[in-house]
Amino acid sequence: MRIWTLHLFTLAVLAVLLATLPPYHATNLARILVLAVFAIGYNLAFGYTGLLSLGHALFFAAGVYGAALPITYLGLPQLPALVAGLLAGGLVAGVTGLLALRTAGVSFMIVTLMFAQAGYLTLLYFGPVTGGDEGLVLPDAAALLPGLSADVARATIAYALFSAALLSSLALVQSRLGRTLVAIRENEDRSRMLGYNTFAVKLTALVLSGLFSGAAGAAYALLFGYAGASFATIQYSILPMLWVLMGGAGTVLGPLVGTAAMFYLVDIAGSYTTATLLFVGVALVLLILFAPKGILGTIRERWLTWLP
Amino acid sequence: MASVILSARGLTRHFGGLRAVDGVDFDLQTGDIHALIGPNGAGKTTFVGLLSGRIPAQSGTIALAGEDITRLPAHARVKKGIAYTFQITSVYPRLSVFDNVALAVQQTATRDLASDVAAALSRVNLADRATQTAGTLSYGHQRLLELGMGLALRPRVLILDEPTQGLASGEIANFKQLVRSLAPETTVLLIEHNMDVVMDLATRITVLAAGRHLATGTPSEIRANPAVQDAYLGGHDASA
Amino acid sequence: MESAVTAATLALTAVGLSLVFGVMRVVNVAHGEFFMLGAVSAWFITTWVGGPAWASFLVALAVAPLFVAALAALADRIVLKRLDYEPEATIVATIGLMYIFQQAALSFYGPQAMPVEPPFNFRIQLPWFGYSAYKLSVILFATLVLIGVWLFLTRTKAGLVMRATQVDRETAQAFGIDVDRVYAGVFALGAGLAAIAAVLIVPIQQAHYLMGHDPLLLAFITVIVGGLGSLRGTIIAAVFIGLSDGLIAFFWSPTLAKILATLLVAMVLVFRPQGLFGAKQA
Ligand SMILES: Nc1ncnc2c1ncn2[C@@H]1O[C@H](COP(=O)(O)OP(=O)(O)OP(=O)(O)O)[C@@H](O)[C@H]1O
Ligand SMILES: [Mg+2]
């Protein structure tokens, strides 16, 4: 009970913030919420199932282009394009998983990295279609919800998507499937000898993770009116990992906390230096050295053991 | 004559030049408590690994109730009713005792997960520890937990690899009682070095030595078998 | 000729990566940045030292790799050792180091690409072709360094200790080998090799703070195709990849060639983890 209360309360606070903050900050928050959906997806694979992927940029970019290409070339309306992006993320994750999940550990990391790199290069190779590094400009966010201003439409869609992602991920990790994912992370051999087809379960986790990532990519492209190959660069695989590590791997609210914390950290740093990625690097090293459980992971360990 | 639930023919697995299991024929009778014994390194763990599918067989066949399962992956064999507990205790140390057993129970057709888990826990006398983290249980309790997980799968064949290793004598008595209560619904294949346990529990015994099948028979037949005595006296059995 | 230079420097970079993986089981994502730091510090050194090009270049060739190696040893002590070389944690940490080195270079060196003058600049005229003497000497020098590494690993006590640690860390420790020192040494050696490659290449390419990306990718490809941790496989693969680089670019666009190469690496890891040239393990 208190679990659902906590999460619904978080959503209520976010709604109030979105409604009352000045437009610049509300737009930042919308951006954080969409990126947090990406982090939630990453967390399903890494935090719960123990699949440390370095290729999630590919799933995010699949969402970006799964939405952007049909809009640009087929004139698909915005909301169906969002669904197309979500499905594209899941599909690409499934294909990747079928191959990459034949490996584990370090090999899995490198294979996913290589797939994402190949995906990025492919986007460049088909530059005339994808816009390559220059990218494609998409219609304004106002086109998403006719009748509303771009700012309001953006906030509404970001909020709806994040709420759906947060609550479905909460339901998922509390379900039998969620318990199974954790079991595979904790002891794959034992899980196999309890009759779990561990390959199939891991593939399921990766596809779910890809659906979240794809939805986030599609929403990001639609809300901010831009699709580009840069979304497939390694940086977009590292960032969700960083957000999840920061917020707490294997916690439901961790992705939101980590994404927000890192966003404002880089934002503040950006007013002092152009080398903002320095902070990404320093944060990664410090986290892995001193707080591998992240913010919420540490809080759960010390105080709130019931936190999902 | 009872029916054979699990059988192996010519089962073989070599590690490099080492013949860990070498052309073993084996029949497990339904309802038996069948002990598998042999000196250290005889190939017992490898042999049951082949039966359960943890280790792929190089040659030979395995049949469960007449159905060929040689090529079936381990998880599918578990689904068909072969449960396995590891020689080296393997639970989920960072999950609660409840979750450990729930992971087994949810593999069966269960209506009420919580009460089925509670029932499975009380079978191994761990009902009052459901919320504890498994890794903080004593060694003996962890072994019981693993046994409880195996039982919760409601298997047709339960394979136990040295379940009493490291248990106190009181715990061993409880264990014997528990295993006896499983027959005849569950057939038990038991690897065991403790000869008291073997002679007490087993309805039939198979002896492996250096990867080969040496003898099968009732406890008294095995005790009287000169070849077995040789293997044990000539071998390096440390813990019998 | 171009391809032979690529093969030679790639072999150096990849052997460095392979050593680190082989002995320490560490996948060093920051390896490309050690390469970049080698090039950038060569620029700084030649600029500071001044004097004739050959003299300042020689100083850079001697000092830059040492500087990079020292930096690597420091990173090993401060970061990797504390993670107890746990594979996944070290990858995350070296990703962090990658950004730190890269952005530090951006801050101190700047975003522009700058050249280093080659130590000598004449062509060797043969009846049919002219060869740049510098490029020839790069190949020669890289080969000598590789032979040196080979002799070091097979003929010296320190090399023996490294290989013993590679085979079995615990046993090595039990025999009184100071594993911490070996690891720091290997990490420094790996980074130093990448830096040597970079110093050799700056007179041909220019130094830039993002230049570590391609060598990292190529070195990865080489190490994986050659078989993880196998030095012989790595060198064979480096020569093969370096030489075919020019050939492939002749038929395909460089982007397509890179796509195929990265997919090849992924497929090798999935279907032939021992590498294309490695022996199949039991
Ligand atoms: N994965 C493996 N690779 C190489 N050799 C192995 C492997 N597993 C087992 N062996 C070897 O096979 C032989 C049989 O091992 P196994 O574990 O089956 O013996 P065991 O009868 O269970 O012994 P114990 O009573 O000590 O448990 C041993 O010599 C062992 O070293
Ligand atoms: Mg054994």
Chain B residue with Cα closest to A199: B75
What is the reported pLDDT for B111?
83
C220 and A CB contact within 8 Å = yes
CA of B41 to the centre of ligand 2 (A): 7
Listed range (A249-263, C194-208, C263-277) with the worst mean pLDDT: C263-277
- Residue B31 CA to ligand 2 center (angstroms) comes to 23
**Residue C281 has what pLDDT?**
42
* H-only helix segments in B67-184: 74-80, 97-105, 113-123, 139-152, 169-182
Q: How far apart are CA A235 and CA B113, in angstroms?
A: 43
Considering only CA atoms, which residue is closest to atom 1 of ligand 1? Answer: B15
Ligand 1 geometric centre to CA of A22 (Å):
68
Instruction: Give me the helices (H) in chain A, please.
Output: 2-20, 23-43, 56-69, 78-100, 105-125, 127-130, 150-174, 176-186, 188-192, 198-224, 235-247, 254-270, 277-290, 294-302
| Cβ(A62)–Cβ(A214) below 8 Å | yes
- Which chain B residue has its CA at the smallest distance from A198's CA? B75
Ligand 1 mean position, distance from CA B181 (Å): 31
- Predicted confidence (pLDDT) at residue B122 exceeds the cutoff of 50: yes
Under the banding of pLDDT at 50, 70 and 90, the label for residue C248 is low
B82 touches chain A (CB under 8 A): no
Give tens-digit pLDDT for C44-67: 999 898 888 888 888 999 999 999
Q: What's the confidence (pLDDT) of residue C276?
A: 62
Half-sphere exposure at residue C35, Cβ-oriented, CA atoms within 13 angstroms = 33
| Nearest ligand by distance to the CA of B19 | 1
pLDDT of residue B154: 92
Cα of B46 vs centre of ligand 2, distance in Å, is 7
- pLDDT for A292: 86
User: Does A98 contact C at CB distance below 8 Å?
Assistant: no
pLDDT at B224: 82
**B86 to chain A: which residues are within 8 Å by CB?**
189-190, 193
d(CA B11, CA B22): 7
Contacts of B106 in chain A (CB under 8 A): 176, 179-180
> CA-CA distance, C66 to C188, in Å (whole number)?
9
What's the burial of B195, exposed, middle or buried (CB within 10 Å: 0-12/13-18/19+)?
middle
Q: How far is the CA of B88 from the centre of ligand 1 (A)?
A: 13
Whether C245 shows a pLDDT value over 70: the answer reads no
CA torsion, points A226, A228, A230, A234, in degrees to nearest 10? 100
How confident is residue C249, by pLDDT bands cut at 50, 70 and 90? Answer: low
For ligand 1, pick from B22, B40, B45, B89 the residue to mutate: most ligand atoms within 8 Å of CB.
B45
Looking from the CA of residue B87, the nearest atom of ligand 1 is 27
Look at B103 and A192 and tell me if their CB atoms are within 8 Å. no
Give me the pLDDT at residue B67, please.
92
pLDDT in tens, C126-146: 666 667 778 888 888 999 999
Q: With 80 as the cut, is the pLDDT of residue B240 above it?
A: no
The answer to whether residue A4 neighbours chain C at the CB level (below 8 Å) is no
Spatial CB neighbours of A259, under 8 Å, sequence gap ≥ 6: A32, A35, A36, A39, A243, A247
Residue of C62, C130, C142, C110 whose CA lies nearest to C207: C110
Low-confidence residues of chain A: pLDDT under 70: none
pLDDT digits (tens, 9 = 90+) for C174-190: 788 888 888 999 999 99
Checking if the pLDDT of B12 tops 70, the result is: yes
CATH number (3.60.150.10, 3.40.50.2020, 3.40.50.300, 3.30.70.270) of B31-55+72-233 reads: 3.40.50.300
Tokens linked to A231? 């979304």
Mark which residues 170-199 of B lie under 8 Å from A by CB.
none
Report d(CA C227, CA C205) in Å as an integer: 29
Question: Is a pLDDT exceeding 80 seen at residue C278?
Answer: no
In this prediction, residue C32 has a pLDDT band, given cuts at 50, 70 and 90, of: very high
Question: Shortest Cα distance from B83 to chain A (angstroms)?
Answer: 7
Q: Report pLDDT for A112.
A: 94
pLDDT digits (tens, 9 = 90+) for B73-91: 999 999 999 999 998 889 9
Q: Choose from C29, C262, C264, C267 for mutation: most chain A CBs within 10 A.
A: C262
C273/A contact by beta carbon, under 8 A: yes
Alpha-carbon B205 to chain mean position: 13
The pLDDT score that the predictor gives to residue C126 is: 66
Smallest Cα–Cα separation from A219: which of A11, A36, A74? A36
Report the pLDDT value the prediction gives residue C105, as an integer from 0 to 100. Answer: 92
Question: What is the maximum alpha-carbon separation in chain B?
Answer: 54
**Is the previous residue joined to B155 through a cis bond, with omega within 30 degrees of 0?**
no
What was the pLDDT predicted at A40? 97
Q: Is any Cβ of chain A less than 8 angstroms from the Cβ of B156?
A: no
- Specify the pLDDT at position A14: 92
Of chain C, the percentage scoring pLDDT greater than 90 comes to 32
Nearest to A214 by CA among A54, A29, A66: A66
pLDDT of residue C282: 32
Percentage of residues in chain C having pLDDT higher than 70: 90
pLDDT of residue C246: 64
Closest-approach residue (CA) in chain A for B155: A194
Which pLDDT tens digit goes with each residue over B178-237? Answer: 999 887 889 999 999 888 889 889 999 999 988 899 889 988 888 888 887 777 755 444
Is C98 in the A-facing interface, judged by CB distances under 8 Å?
A: yes
* Chain A residues within 8 A of C224 when measuring between CB atoms: 110
Average pLDDT over residues C155-172: 83
Name all residues whose Cβ lies below 6 A of ligand 1: B 15, 18, 20, 38, 40-46, 87
Ligand 1: nearest atom to the Cα of B55: 1
Contact A308, A170 (CB under 8 A): yes
Confirm or reject contact between B108 and chain A (CB < 8 A): no
Residue of the CA atom closest to atom 24 of ligand 1: B40
Ligand 1 atom 23, closest CA: B41
Residue C171 pLDDT level (bands cut at 50, 70, 90): confident
Q: What is the DSSP letter of A141?
A: G
**What are the chain A neighbours of B104 within 8 Å (beta carbons)?**
194
On whether any CB of chain C is under 8 Å from the CB of A283, the answer is yes
Whether residue B103 and residue A194 make contact (CB cut-off 8 A), yes or no, is yes
Q: What is the model's pLDDT at position A42? A: 97
Substitution target in B79, B92, B111, B156 with the highest count of A β-carbons within 10 Å is B92
- How confident is the model at residue B235, as a pLDDT? 46
Interface check for A273 against chain C (CB to CB < 8 A): the answer is yes
Query: What are the distances in angstroms from CA B103 to CA B117, B158, C42?
Result: 9, 17, 59
Count the Cβ atoms, other than its own, within 10 Å of residue A150.
17
Residue identifier of the C-alpha nearest atom 28 of ligand 1: B41
Per-residue pLDDT, averaged over B43-49, amounts to 93
Q: Tell me whether residues C87 and A282 touch, CB distance under 8 A.
A: no
Q: Which of B44, B46, B85, B239 to mutate to test the pocket of ligand 1 (most atoms within 8 A of CB)?
A: B46
Q: What is the pLDDT of residue C50?
A: 80
Chain A segment 223-252 residues within 8 A of C by beta carbon are 238, 241, 245
What pLDDT shows up at residue A120? 95
- Give the burial class of B201: count Cβ atoms within 10 A of its Cβ; 0-12 exposed, 13-18 middle, 19 or more buried: buried
Chain A contact for C95 (CB, 8 A cutoff) = yes
**Closest Cβ–Cβ partner in A176, A187, A196 for B75:** A196
Q: Is pLDDT of C83 > 70?
A: yes
Q: Which of residues 206-235 of B touch A (CB under 8 A)?
A: none
pTM of the model as a whole: 0.89
